[in-house]
Amino acid sequence: MTAPLRPILKKPSPVPTVYLLTFSTDRVPAAQDFAILLDEHLAPQVELRYTIDARRFLVPPPYICGKYSGIADEMQDQILEDSTACGTINRVVDDLVDFIQDGGRETCVAIYCKAGTHRSVALAELIAQGVRQEIRDMKSEEGVKIVVRHVHRAKGPKDPY
């Protein structure tokens, strides 16, 4: 019997890379399923920094959820009305910028909510925007690469993409 093949390890990116991975707890209900999801979407050398439960943030109104996913400004504006979500976004952006400044190369933050379409997606998009802006403001020569993967996002009819 032969051992299963492991994926070929890619060399870490020369630019610091942050992966933001969103998903649905309806579709990934157990820890074992979460481990499989990580294996499918991240290279083995990428460390999971932490996970964020976006289910604790305010649910946007149905008329917004029916039109948009979290990639739309309209949904992100709804998330920014929740002070707890804003505090989480600010803490994560600060933590990721510190990670990069301290020489960190690759890390991942996983964000989940019930459907994996609205709150988790908006949070990831806002974190990505925040990290990019902070790194730009620091005038970092190296920059940062942000990879956002919305595993279970359903496109809203009014979404830009």
- pLDDT tens digits, one per residue of 58-75: 999 999 999 999 999 999
Q: pTM to 2 decimals?
A: 0.89
Positions in the chain whose pLDDT score sits under 50: 1
Between the alpha carbon of residue 128 and those of residues 11, 31, 35, 134, the distances in Å are 23, 25, 23, 10
For residue 30, what are its two tokens? Answer: 């157990």
Say if CB 97 and CB 109 are below 8 A apart.
Answer: no
Q: pLDDT value at position 140?
A: 76
Q: pLDDT value at position 104?
A: 92
